[in-house]
Amino acid sequence: MRAIEIKNLTFSYDKQEKVFNNLSLDIEKGKYCVVLGRNGSGKSTLAKLITGLLTIQEGQIKVDGIEINEKNIYDIRNRIGIVFQNPDNQFIGATVRDDIAFGLENHLVAQDKMDQIINEYAQKVGMDKYLDKEPSNLSGGQKQRVAIAGVLAMTPDIVIFDEATSMLDPKGKKEIKEVILKMRELFKDMTILSITHDVEEALLADEVIVVDNGEIAIQGTPEEVFIKDDLLKKLSLDIPFVYKFKNLLGKNGIEMDTIDIEKMVKKLCQ
Amino acid sequence: MSIKFHDVFYTYLPKSPYEHTALKGVSFEIKDGEFVGIIGHTGSGKSTLVQHINALLLPSSGEIEVDDFLIAPDTKPKGVKNLRKKAGLVFQFPEYQLFEETVFKDIAFGPKNFGVTEQEIRPNVEELMKLLGLDLNYLDKSPFELSGGQKRRVAIAGILAINPSILVLDEPTAGLDPQGAVDTLDLFKKLNKEGKTIVLVTHEMDYVLQYCDKVIVLKDGAIEAFDEPINIFMNRRLLERVGIEAPLVIKIMQQLIDSGMKLNYGKIRDVSSLVEQIIKSRGDCK
Ligand SMILES: Nc1ncnc2c1ncn2[C@@H]1O[C@H](COP(=O)(O)OP(=O)(O)OP(=O)(O)O)[C@@H](O)[C@H]1O
Ligand SMILES: Nc1ncnc2c1ncn2[C@@H]1O[C@H](COP(=O)(O)OP(=O)(O)OP(=O)(O)O)[C@@H](O)[C@H]1O
Ligand SMILES: [Mg+2]
Ligand SMILES: [Mg+2]
């Protein structure tokens, strides 16, 4: 079963150059996919097309097997939760609490359950002490944490993160990742599409999709993608640290058959 | 062009139910020509701190000296315009900084404000766009119709156009693709070598290790440490206390040292220096 099916998609902003020309892409249900691509390659545009925030000009997009059209767009949006690249574009409520509540109200969650859900998700992202604050008065990373809580609280079928943790330090990023992975254990069918410049995050993904110039340049498992270091470099991208370490050791005559740090350390100290 | 903080406190929304003291007695000195990083957990006060350097925020108490300027509570310092020409701040979110109709006007805004004509600026704007990897086709495009990383590049170019002697950068690489991030940091390093003082807020610890001379560690609005990056990252207890992780290169190095390899850790900054030291020390394991 596919969560997202894109066929022959063409799109351009208002009289401008085409961002996508005949793009096709399938994403299986329940997969954790990381999307990489240089600045301006079309990642955010793709996310907005999948959520129906932008309208396709040619081709089709199916979500859970249903083709997006004008009539079902609200139903489709209810299945997808998106965290925008700039969290300021996300906030509606006067307080953090209202903001998380807003999405839940839209999903017709009963009032008595609401408080419990809000607390639970605020806690998951470490923002439970800030529920009565105004979103605009938060620090950059706090805003991102709240935006993530608001979307996850709705337990959407498909979660799209557009650089949702770009203002968090590696430890903060890891905490959020754990929250997501735990949720995926709970809701087996949850599909995650995470757009990021952080190649370390891509190591944990089921699948890595590299976008360039409006096309899918590479698609595969992290292992399949990250051995193409020369191509990635040409696309302004990078490979995770462990791959760089392994490759450079190899060039110096120390071959490693693993990217597991502990095993590499052990071998080096034999 | 030194920066001195003397016991600076800052409280947001004082005497309201939302009152929040974000800086609690911060004192330090950044010397002329230094490249200093600022790190700390989400909400620790990094952005609040750096907004004091060009008097965007005024301290609730305490004082800040930036070169000859004195920034004190309540009143904007005299000649604040000149201060902003000396100390340029790139915001954490580029959207806060972009407001003109076209990319050209946005980058040219600062210099124009300081009396340079549009014609005079043009070559400089184009040069900056090239340096930051922005296609010149975007000159007449609205900055709001750019991708996130492109907006970031325009915001940085707009500050560089003023040619300030102090560059204050709040997460300047967030949203940049990996090549863009490294190119931009290399550019800052080059400007630093030419004499500019750089203050870099970042959560990328690898960059701190590779580019910064020193690093300020903030926790809950107070300074926990101010030292060379390697000393900060080798101090596991400090990192634990402030909720920060060392870069992977340091963690691997520590595991090797713990397993008995004798590494010259003072020389390790990135993957190539790590491998270089491993080659030298291999066979030295106990
Ligand atoms: N609202 C808009 N109007 C016109 N052009 C746009 C608009 N938004 C983006 N573009 C252009 O479309 C292309 C794709 O932009 P998009 O935002 O999808 O890139 P991205 O892959 O998300 O990049 P980044 O990594 O910088 O966020 C870019 O060339 C950009 O300049
Ligand atoms: N405008 C504001 N009004 C009230 N409180 C604020 C405001 N801006 C920030 N704060 C609070 O002050 C504290 C410090 O915020 P600051 O933005 O300086 O943090 P930061 O270290 O830059 O964090 P991040 O890494 O998330 O960007 C936070 O707890 C934040 O909630
Ligand atoms: Mg984007
Ligand atoms: Mg900040």
| Domains defined for chain A, CATH in brackets | 29-51+74-221 (3.40.50.300)
In chain A, the residue whose alpha carbon lies closest to the alpha carbon of B178 is A237
- Residue type for position B270: D
> Residue A19: its pLDDT value, please?
95
Does A17 or B177 have the greater pLDDT score?
B177
Q: How far apart are CA A58 and CA B1, in angstroms?
A: 57
Q: How far apart are CA A20 and CA B54, in angstroms?
A: 42
Domain ranges of chain B: 3-246, 247-286
> Residue B284: its pLDDT value, please?
62
Surface of A (59-118) touching B: CB under 8 A: 85-86, 88
pLDDT at A112 over 90: no
The CA distance from B175 to the nearest CA of chain A, in Å, is 7
The 10 Å Cβ neighbour count of residue A230 is 7
Q: What is the ipTM of this complex?
A: 0.94
3-state helix, strand, coil in chain A (%, to 5): 40, 25, 35
| Beta strand A58-63 pairing with A66-67 | antiparallel
Distance B60 CA to ligand 3 centre (A): 37
For chain B, percent of residues with pLDDT exceeding 90? 87
In chain A, the residue whose alpha carbon lies closest to the alpha carbon of B141 is A16
Q: Which residues are near ligand 1 (CB < 6 Å)?
A: A 13, 16, 19, 37, 39-45, 85; B 145-150
A39 CB neighbours in chain B (<8 A) are 133, 147-150, 153, 175-177, 180
Average pLDDT over residues B83-93: 95
pLDDT at A127 over 80: yes
What is B1-30 written as a DSSP string?
A: --EEEEEEEEEESTTSTT-EEEEEEEEEEE
Chain centroid, CA A217 distance in Å: 18
| Helices B118-131, B103-113: inter-axial angle, 10-degree rounding | 120
pLDDT at A75 over 90: no
CB contact under 8 A, B177 and A197: yes
Per-residue CA distances from A235 to A184, A213, A240 (Å): 31, 9, 15
Q: How far apart are CA B245 and CA B41, in angstroms?
A: 10
Architecture of domain B3-246: 3-Layer(aba) Sandwich (3.40)
Average pLDDT over residues B102-121: 92
CB contact under 8 A, B175 and A40: no
Average pLDDT over residues B140-159: 96
Across all residues in chain B, what is the average pLDDT?
95
- How do residues B200-230 score in pLDDT, each as one tens digit? 999 999 999 999 999 999 999 999 999 999 9
> Residue B283: its pLDDT value, please?
65
CB pairs under 8 A between A and B: 141
Average pLDDT over residues B179-208: 97
pLDDT at A96 over 70: yes
**Ligand 1 atom 18: residue of nearest CA:** A42
> Residue B156: its pLDDT value, please?
98
Across all residues in chain A, what is the average pLDDT?
93
CB contact under 8 A, B178 and A197: yes
Min mean pLDDT across A151-160, B122-131, B146-155, B259-268 is at B259-268
> Residue B286: its pLDDT value, please?
57
Q: How far apart are CA B89 and CA B69, in angstroms?
A: 16
CB contact under 8 A, B279 and A252: yes
Q: How far apart are CA B185 and CA B190, in angstroms?
A: 9
Assess A136–B contact: CB distance below 8 Å, yes or no.
no
Distance A145 CA to ligand 4 centre (A): 13
In the block, which residue shows the tokens 């096309």? A215
| Beta strand B20-30 pairing with A191-195 | unpaired
**Minimal Cβ distance to A139: which of B42, B95, B176:** B42
> Residue B71: its pLDDT value, please?
96
**Minimal Cβ distance to B92: which of A140, A244, A248:** A140
Pick the atom of ligand 2 nearest to B48's CA.
Answer: 18
Average pLDDT over residues A36-40: 97
> Residue A89: its pLDDT value, please?
84
Tokens at residue A181, please?
């992975």
B13 CB neighbours in chain A (<8 A) are 137
> Residue A270: its pLDDT value, please?
79
DSSP category for residue A258: -
**Ligand 2 atom 17: residue of nearest CA:** A139
Name the pLDDT band for B285 (thresholds 50, 70, 90).
low
Q: Cβ distance B73 to B59 under 8 Å?
A: yes
Chain centroid, CA B206 distance in Å: 14
pLDDT at A24 over 80: yes
Q: How far apart are CA A195 and CA A164, in angstroms?
A: 8
pTM, rounded to two decimals: 0.96
Q: Cβ distance A100 to A149 under 8 Å?
A: yes
> Residue B224: its pLDDT value, please?
98
Ordered alpha helix ranges (H), chain B: 46-50, 80-86, 103-113, 118-131, 148-160, 178-193, 205-211, 229-234, 236-242, 248-258, 271-281
pLDDT at A83 over 70: yes
> Residue A179: its pLDDT value, please?
92
**Ligand 1 atom 25: residue of nearest CA:** A39
**Ligand 2 atom 10: residue of nearest CA:** A138
**Minimal Cβ distance to B256: which of A172, A242, A265:** A265
In chain B, the residue whose alpha carbon lies closest to the alpha carbon of A130 is B18
Sheet holding B222-227, edge to edge: B87-90, B166-170, B197-201, B35-40, B214-219, B222-227
